[in-house]
Chain A
């Protein structure tokens, strides 16, 4: 993909999306190279507790109630947030796209059955369900990913189903049927590529939601106890919020910036993949 392609042209026109992409790349860089950037072990008690930011060299964000380096915590938190956001979104897409594609392609009672199944998940408050699932399976990266994926696939299934319902009626699908192409082949090569644009946009927003969900779970103490995460840091700073504002502020800012960046990128992808937008003012 070159910089002159219509996709890039439309994406670059959205200034917010460009800024979001820059922030996101920065967060991704920090996440990948975190262990080499961070000066301290995020769990290690390396300084006196309640150290204010900028008072000691090397502790730009100060320390928390136990004397752990907050900057290192934020850096390591980026790893876990992005990891959980990405993996749980991929899992949710796998479930949602599969069920939605089958429901939309076959229609009839298969569609009805799958959609009722989807509605069961939509009828339960998703955060409550996630809490229950994590509590049952013991908090760990795996169980958190599973819980987030299980509560976030239904909207994907609905979106994919509606795309398939309309695309299935297209003449090129009918032509493929007449040519005797197999059903999986038609679903995967004829219809799915044409439904990708809205799925990609939705996925970028789902990563943002997954990061928020993970933070909320960690805030409640349901995060992986072996992983330093932004939500856990905000949660543990809650009791001393009035004495030590910095403990909650920096991880909180990290969450806000990452989620905001993902939302902006999602909007940019929407513009970029929407071919009808060309030549219109925005």
Chain B
């Protein structure tokens, strides 16, 4: 203590050579290997890394939340205000949690107890640590809710979580974590599950609160855009090791380690890479006045609620072109995608495929003859775990009457095309990583020799470096097969890189539709401008941001 007290600023959290072991049979022995970092008071330290890099393990070990005994710290120290947290007993840790260290989790939709009122949940923090009279407790909870920018705290305090949106719930979680004014706040990917505009608000809130209270923040994220928005210091992790550490500006502007450079280069720039198309290739897809309404809760005795997921959607797509459908969650972009491939019926309007009207209903998919294919978002759910990869890819053509030997030959050629060896055909999906599975998903779609490919958020579940490779593969197969593609995404940067045209959707309506460079460079609609502004950028705002250029 006396030695560190001599220094001008004593770090709030000082992790020294921390190692955390994994259970036997995992892909590596140590989840975290000799990681050191320190968080200074009033500063934000970002831990950046791809999935499996061990960044969340660090956050959980500080809080004492590791799944003991299989995953446990085996070396090093976690000094919190000079005390080694690893030597504390569980009751001592409990005393620190909530009072001295607060934590915000990734998934706001599941972090709150659905049957408990907001006020009660925050009140539990008081009950665990101190004796506060009920009226004062309520007063302080109200103040905390107002502090995190929630509207009408008097109403919200007695509301149940289902009334709140994802962003509002994350604000409640932050209020919960900060109510006893801890000196350290740990945020584990707090904005990953949120829309880009909500993410911008939450990041702003964290920054403000930190400035006002001088809290130290340990911020875990995979997104370098977020890092540049919020970080003072950055630590980059790769497979359990710290590969680079330093002030945010230095790491972002002049990354030293090749891995950091690779991560930063992999971020989609959002600059429109494809020039304005002057193609007069035939139309593959024409959508006219497409409408889709969801009705829910239609019971025997009550009228159901209806949500308009798509209203008067119009666009067309030529051979070899790509249309980006961009919007936040709930904008109806996925519903449009499902209507296009015939997985969901639509209410009215027309979908013309190669000039032929596809009537809705059961005949839609039959009429399309498998020439409209889809690539799904979740690479873990889109492959049948019980089918070998080769059979999964060949199954489609065989169902369309292609001979078995030809289907297998096609499968082998496609596996090679997407960058997997021929031996992949005899293996099961669980032997592949997320990015490889997405490649298999693309190969499966291509095996049908489609003329239209609908990709629903195909890269949003992938790490940024893998994402770049998969996007490259999409671009490659588009050229090779002259595919028309509908690319559904929430990420404007990805859309900018991939698409010829962009349609921006908000609450079921296309609010802006045009060439990519035009939509991103000179947005007409207010919502488009809001979306573009909310995208976290690497460069500081005074430099010319890539998107607005």
Task: Indicate, yes or no, whether A interacts with B.
Answer: yes
- Please state if A185 and B399 are interface contacts (CB–CB under 8 Å): yes
Q: Give the 3 A-B CB pairs with smallest separation, nearest first.
A: A179-B396, A171-B382, A171-B376
**Interface of A: prevailing SS:** helix
- Please state if A194 and B396 are interface contacts (CB–CB under 8 Å): no
- Please state if B381 and A172 are interface contacts (CB–CB under 8 Å): yes
- Residue A125 lies at the interface, judged by CB distance under 8 Å to chain B: no
- Residue A136 lies at the interface, judged by CB distance under 8 Å to chain B: no
- When chains A and B are docked, how far (Å) is the Cα of A279 from the Cα of B26? 10
Give chain B's interface residues, CB within 8 Å of chain A.
23, 25, 69-70, 341-343, 365-366, 369-370, 372-374, 376-378, 381-387, 392, 395-397, 399-400, 441, 444-445, 448
| 17 extra A-B contacts, CB within 8 A, seeds A176-B384, A178-B365, A185-B399 | A170-B381, A171-B381, A172-B382, A172-B387, A172-B392, A175-B396, A177-B365, A178-B373, A178-B396, A178-B448, A180-B396, A180-B400, A181-B396, A194-B384, A194-B386, A278-B25, A279-B23
Q: Which residues of A contact B397 (CB under 8 A)?
A: 179
Encode A162-191 as 1/0 by CB contact (under 8 A) with B.
000000001110111111111001000110
Task: List, sorted by A's number, 6 A–B pairs whose CB atoms are closer than 8 Å.
Answer: A172-B384, A174-B376, A179-B370, A180-B370, A278-B25, A279-B70
Encode A189-208 as 1/0 by CB contact (under 8 A) with B.
11001100000000000000
Residue in contact with B399 in the complex, picked from A181, A193, A280, CB distance below 8 Å = A181
- Please state if B448 and A179 are interface contacts (CB–CB under 8 Å): yes
| Nearest CB on A from B287, distance (A) | 18
Q: Which residues of B contact A194 (CB under 8 A)?
A: 384-386
Closest to A167 in B: B384
- When chains A and B are docked, how far (Å) is the Cα of A278 from the Cα of B369? 43
- When chains A and B are docked, how far (Å) is the Cα of A57 from the Cα of B318? 93
Say yes or no: A176-B370 contact (C-beta < 8 A), given A170-B381, A171-B376, A279-B23. Answer: no
Say yes or no: A180-B372 contact (C-beta < 8 A), given A194-B385, A279-B23. Answer: no
**Interface of B: prevailing SS:** loop
| Nearest CB on A from B27, distance (A) | 13
Kindly count the residue-residue contacts between A and B in the assembled complex, taking CB atoms under 8 Å apart: 73
Q: Which residues of A contact B343 (CB under 8 A)?
A: 174, 177-178
- Please state if B395 and A181 are interface contacts (CB–CB under 8 Å): yes
Closest to A179 in B: B396
| Nearest CB on A from B370, distance (A) | 5
| Nearest CB on A from B514, distance (A) | 29
Q: Which residues of B contact A190 (CB under 8 A)?
A: 384, 387
Say yes or no: A175-B382 contact (C-beta < 8 A), given A181-B399, A185-B399. Answer: yes
Closest to A278 in B: B25
| Nearest CB on A from B382, distance (A) | 4
- Please state if B383 and A172 are interface contacts (CB–CB under 8 Å): yes
Q: Which residues of A contact B341 (CB under 8 A)?
A: 178
- When chains A and B are docked, how far (Å) is the Cα of A181 from the Cα of B395? 8
Q: Which residues of A contact B392 (CB under 8 A)?
A: 172
Say yes or no: A180-B369 contact (C-beta < 8 A), given A174-B376, A175-B444, A193-B386. Answer: yes
Closest to B454 in A: A178
- When chains A and B are docked, how far (Å) is the Cα of A189 from the Cα of B23? 34
Encode A201-230 as 1/0 by CB contact (under 8 A) with B.
000000000000000000000000000000
- When chains A and B are docked, how far (Å) is the Cα of A281 from the Cα of B365? 48
- Please state if B395 and A179 are interface contacts (CB–CB under 8 Å): yes
- When chains A and B are docked, how far (Å) is the Cα of A190 from the Cα of B381? 12
Say yes or no: A178-B374 contact (C-beta < 8 A), given A279-B23, A279-B25. Answer: yes
- Please state if A171 and B378 are interface contacts (CB–CB under 8 Å): yes
- Please state if B376 and A175 are interface contacts (CB–CB under 8 Å): yes
Closest to B391 in A: A189
- When chains A and B are docked, how far (Å) is the Cα of A177 from the Cα of B399? 10
| Nearest CB on A from B233, distance (A) | 34
| Nearest CB on B from A96, distance (A) | 21
| Nearest CB on A from B373, distance (A) | 6
Closest to B386 in A: A193
- Please state if A179 and B399 are interface contacts (CB–CB under 8 Å): yes
- Please state if A178 and B382 are interface contacts (CB–CB under 8 Å): no
Q: Which residues of B contact A170 (CB under 8 A)?
A: 381-382
- Please state if A174 and B374 are interface contacts (CB–CB under 8 Å): yes
- When chains A and B are docked, how far (Å) is the Cα of A177 from the Cα of B343? 8
Residue in contact with A175 in the complex, picked from B25, B70, B374, CB distance below 8 Å = B374
Q: Which of B70, B381, B383, B384 has the most CB of A within 10 A?
A: B384
Q: Which residues of A contact B370 (CB under 8 A)?
A: 178-180
Q: Which residues of B contact A175 (CB under 8 A)?
A: 374, 376, 382, 396, 441, 444-445
Q: Which residues of B contact A177 (CB under 8 A)?
A: 343, 365
Closest to B338 in A: A174
- When chains A and B are docked, how far (Å) is the Cα of A128 from the Cα of B64? 56
| Nearest CB on A from B444, distance (A) | 6
- When chains A and B are docked, how far (Å) is the Cα of A172 from the Cα of B380? 10
- When chains A and B are docked, how far (Å) is the Cα of A182 from the Cα of B365? 12
Q: Which residues of A contact B384 (CB under 8 A)?
A: 172, 176, 190, 193-194
- When chains A and B are docked, how far (Å) is the Cα of A206 from the Cα of B239? 47
- Please state if B399 and A182 are interface contacts (CB–CB under 8 Å): yes
